[in-house]
Homo-oligomer: A and B are copies of this chain.
Amino acid sequence: MKAAASTARVDEIVEQLRANGGRMNTARRALVAALVDAGGHVTAEDLATAVRRTHPNMHMATVYRNLEALEDLGVLTHLHLGHTASVYHFADDCHQHLVCQTCGHVVEVPDREFDRLTKRLGGTYGFHLTLHHFALMGICQACADESGQ
Which residues does A use to contact B, with CB under 8 Å?
80, 98, 100-101, 107, 109, 113-114, 116-117, 120-121, 124-131, 133-141, 144
This chain's copy number in the assembly: 2
Nearest 4 Cβ contacts at the A-B interface: A126-B141, A129-B138, A128-B139, A130-B138
Q: Interface SS of chain A: helix, strand, loop or mixed?
A: mixed
Task: Let me know if B116 and A116 touch, CB within 8 A.
Answer: yes
Task: Let me know if A127 and B113 touch, CB within 8 A.
Answer: no
Contacts of A121 in B (CB 8 A): 98, 109, 113, 138
Q: Select which of B109, B126, B133 is within 8 A of A125 by beta carbon.
A: B109
Contacts of A135 in B (CB 8 A): 134
